[in-house]
Structure 1
Amino acid sequence: MNNRITAMLGVEHPIVQAPMGWIARAQLASAVSNAGGMGIIETSSGQLEEVREEIRKMRTLTEKPFGVNIAQAFVRDPDIVPFVVDQGVKFVTTSAGDPNKYCEPLKKAGLTVFHVVPTLDGALKAIAAGVDGLVVEGGEGGGFKNPRDVALMVLLPLIRSKVDVPIIAAGGMVCGRTMAAAFALGAEGVQMGTRMVSAAESPVHQNWKDAIVGAKETDTVFLNRHGPGPALRALRTAKTEEIDRNPIGDVRPEFARIRDLYFGGDLEASIALTGQVAGRIDAVKPVAQIIGEVMDEFHEQMAVLCRTYA
């Protein structure tokens, strides 16, 4: 496919892997890049020496392009921009904060910068800051969210009607049909989180993958809408159901044992950030198969629509 996203990122397919903390590292990201998509390395874990090593591993696992995410709310190192620039990547996504903070120095260093936005106001602010493109993120996606969540079906065409930069759609992206729908609404690429968490190359424990495969479309909860701290969408478990029924205020302490959940398989140890699209995932598959099937179905659905309605 040739469009603005593939041209800007240097990838074969306009599919980006979401930058999940602790998860978006070399094992998963290299599989995405090798399959023709854009693998992303996270920095939200705050473990920059580990991240540096993961980027080193990436260069041994793939010769394809990959990027880095800066999740601003979790940045602990004031030198995060020089750190990212020094890694030699050409693409960075910024999120969870003011796009003005890092956009200018990143662009001055020659990087392509996309900012993640959950609202039209956020999109316009990012455009004014000079970003090259946007990741438009609907409230159905997993992870930390705007407490006033908006579904991608509403948010994406709204933002597209006001801006002309390339847009990557995030939230509910799982297959060729959802990709075709996103393109119809104004996107030129898609970002996948929960689908990649459940992939064969994902480093998370099999218990979490099995929970995603077994989930219904109603098996996520939206927590902490009224703060303090971030709102979030997560897998429905005994812990998250209890927090949903009896809000505890700041949920951030609940992430103290996140690695026990992610890599130890204890789904009650912390909060498993998961999108509603878990209800559509019915098998663990290799990344290359996921991306191949998405692209095949995308082209098939576009052709069907053209034949039916042109």
Structure 2
Amino acid sequence: MTKAVPIKNRVTAMTGTDYPIIQAPMGWIARAQLASAVSNAGGMGVIETASGEFDNIRNEVAKMRDLTDKPFGMNVALSYVKGTDIVDFVIKQNIKFVTTSSGSPNVCTTAFQEAGIKVFHVVPTLDMALKAIDCGVDGLVVEGGEGGGFKNPSPVSTMVLLPLIRSRTDLPIIAAGGMCDGLSMAGAFAMGAEGVQMGTRMLSCADSPVHDNWKQAVVAAKETGTVFLNQQSRPALRALRTERTTMLEPMGAFNIMEHMAKIPDLYFGGDMEAAIPLSGQVAGRIDEVKSAADIVQDTIGEFYQVVSRLADSYNN
């Protein structure tokens, strides 16, 4: 495979990567096995902290040093790590890129920046984007409601949210929600993004540690194959449709943790009914399990093709 030409923009300058493709920080999943594969492919592998398993996470960071000499980052899911020394913990990992989510970045942005770390905050609405900008973040991850995982109870699609936020700020934006290939990347860039974050696409890749049953469920899913749950509470979440999630769908609010207690049985044991399999609507566009390297290279190659085709067709 001929390596795609690197992309030079503000996101790649801040991340130190060849390509502005960020791997989503999925709890228990975004660890060294997956993150190193993404980083080695020229993207930005990200280690999660949402699980709260800090001893394991520290070990995963050490593994990253053995598995890649490329840049990688971490995510700080603020509401899930309250009462911990998460800021000092992350700074000690000697990384240069952090995404923050699920809370106000005001509690950590300055400390991270003083340590030489670039901070991108995940935002699901314009109001939250403006608050993050006031906190002095370096950039935004603009996350549409079609994405998988924990969401805002009032979801806004990437098609609406991304250009809206772009109209109000010049900060670099990474688009999340619906991103899986060069076509979606080109669309995001047309609306003002300079990078894309992939969750479901990376969850279902060959380098992901999740059980093959979950990967194949993503491949088999239709575009209507997800459900939006817990919409009358916080956090809401988007997941694959299973017997469990179909039962939960009409319930406006429920105790999420009761349905996530057996996460290992789902994630790594392959029991699709053991817990809630968080996945985005983009599962309907994923039709095969590919390596992280192929995903990154195919995405960038197709991105260039789409941009060139549009320029040839309309630049008369």
Per the TM superposition, whether the score is higher than 0.5 is: yes
Correspondence for 1:63: 69
Correspondence for 1:170: 176
The Cα shift of 1:177 comes to: 0.4
For 2:55, which of 42, 45, 49 is the aligned residue? 49
* Alpha-carbon displacement from aligned partner over 1:24-83 (angstroms, at most 9, x marks no partner): 000000000000000000000000000000000000000000000000121045210000
Correspondence for 1:268: 273
Query: Does residue 284 of structure 2 align to residue 279 of structure 1?
Result: yes
Correspondence for 2:152: 146
Correspondence for 2:4: none
Query: Does residue 166 of structure 2 align to residue 160 of structure 1?
Result: yes
CA RMSD of aligned residues (A): 0.8
In 2, the alpha carbon distance for the partners of 1:222 and 1:13 equals: 31
Correspondence for 1:8: 14
Moved over 4 A (4+): none
Correspondence for 1:293: 298
The Cα shift of 1:109 comes to: 1.5
Return 101-110 or 132-141, whichever deviates more.
101-110
The Cα shift of 1:103 comes to: 1.0
Aligned identity (percent) is: 62
- The aligned amino acid for 1:57 is K
Contact 2:231–2:253, Cα closer than 8 Å, also in 1: no
Correspondence for 1:83: 89
Contact 1:117–1:123, Cα closer than 8 Å, also in 2: yes
The Cα shift of 1:246 comes to: 3.7
* Alpha-carbon displacement from aligned partner over 1:133-164 (angstroms, at most 9, x marks no partner): 00000000000000010000000000000000
- The aligned amino acid for 1:265 is G
Give the match's secondary structure for 2:105: coil
Aligned pair count?
A: 309
For 1:256, which of 258, 261, 275 is the aligned residue? 261
- The aligned amino acid for 2:186 is A
In 1, the alpha carbon distance for the partners of 2:62 and 2:232 equals: 40
- The aligned amino acid for 2:39 is S
- The aligned amino acid for 1:274 is S
Q: TM-score, with normalisation over the residues of structure 1? A: 0.98
Correspondence for 1:135: 141
Q: How does 1:215-254 map to 2 (within 5 A)?
A: 215-227=221-233, 229-247=234-252, 249-254=254-259
Return 100-109 or 153-162, whichever deviates more.
100-109
Contact 1:46–1:76, Cα closer than 8 Å, also in 2: no
- The aligned amino acid for 2:73 is G
Contact 1:113–1:132, Cα closer than 8 Å, also in 2: yes
The Cα shift of 1:249 comes to: 2.1
Query: Does residue 315 of structure 2 align to residue 305 of structure 1?
Result: no
In 2, the alpha carbon distance for the partners of 1:174 and 1:295 equals: 11
* Alpha-carbon displacement from aligned partner over 1:185-207 (angstroms, at most 9, x marks no partner): 00000000000000000000000
Give the match's secondary structure for 2:237: strand
For 1:96, which of 102, 106, 114 is the aligned residue? 102
Contact 1:115–1:126, Cα closer than 8 Å, also in 2: yes
Return 197-206 or 246-255, whichever deviates more.
246-255
- The aligned amino acid for 1:275 is G
The Cα shift of 1:110 comes to: 1.4
In 2, the alpha carbon distance for the partners of 1:225 and 1:247 equals: 6
